């Protein structure tokens, strides 16, 4: 299960929904795996406003991943912005018949892609910060089914 998925999940217990502590769910005893996928730069740029950055930082640090910056990156931070690229972009504009040079993802974009979409929880638990209920993750699938008495 991808870490970006955790941006959209919360504790399944009804009474937890109103508690801020039920989001994000906290990974515990997690076995991670990297599943490589192609970097999708337009998507990464657009998803920024949907990211609960503070919570994603918390999850990354709880998983022992490298620290994320304290503030979320901007769209500009995700694009390589060296002089060479700038120059070739300008050249492209001059010869307007040519297609524009493709934007090059920056290291920040690569790091974000790695964390959100390539770092997956293979096995482990997700724990609610409010009620401490543990949801199992097995073979990449998180199980949010509750025992009868909690529904």
Give the footprint of other proteins on this chain (CB under 8 A): 1-2, 4-5, 7-12, 14, 17, 23, 37-43, 46-50, 117, 135, 139-146, 148, 151
The Cα–Cα gap between 19 and 17 comes to 6
**Main-chain dihedrals φ then ψ at residue 96, nearest 5 degrees:** -65, -15
> What is the gyration radius of the CA atoms in the chain, in angstroms?
19
Residue 30 or 117: the one with the smaller Cβ distance to other proteins is 117
Which residues neighbour 137 within 8 Å (Cβ) at sequence distance 6 or greater?
1, 30, 121, 122, 123, 124, 125, 126, 143
- Decide whether 95 or 99 has the Cβ nearer to other proteins: 99
62 versus 118: smaller Cβ distance to other proteins: 118
Least distance from C-beta 31 to other proteins, angstroms? 16
Nearest approach in angstroms of CB 93 to other proteins is: 22
What gap in Å lies between CA 146 and CA 132, rounded to an integer?
13
CA 133 to chain centre: 23
Q: Residue 115 corresponds to which tokens in the numbers above?
A: 């964390």
CB of 57 to other proteins, least distance (A): 17
CB of 18 to other proteins, least distance (A): 9
Give the nearest distance from C-beta 20 to other proteins in angstroms: 11
Nearer to other proteins, 14 or 87 (CB): 14
Nearer to other proteins, 41 or 59 (CB): 41
Query: Which residues have CB under 8 Å from 40's CB, separation 6+?
Result: 113
């Amino acid at each position: 299960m991808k870490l970006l998925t955790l941006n959209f999940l919360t504790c399944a217990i009804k009474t937890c929904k109103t508690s801020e502590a039920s989001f994000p769910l906290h990974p515990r005893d997690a076995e991670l795996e990297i599943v490589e996928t192609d970097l999708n730069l337009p998507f990464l740029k657009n998803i920024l406003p949907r990211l609960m950055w503070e919570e994603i930082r918390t999850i990354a640090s709880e998983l022992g991943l490298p620290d994320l910056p304290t503030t979320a990156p901007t769209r500009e931070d995700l694009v390589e912005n060296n002089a060479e690229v700038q120059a070739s972009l300008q050249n492209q504009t001059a010869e307007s018949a040519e297609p524009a040079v493709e934007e090059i993802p920056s290291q920040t974009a690569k790091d974000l892609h790695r964390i959100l979409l390539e770092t997956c929880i293979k096995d482990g638990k997700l724990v609610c910060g409010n009620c401490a209920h543990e949801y199992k993750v097995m073979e990449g699938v998180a199980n949010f089914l509750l025992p009868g008495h909690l529904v």
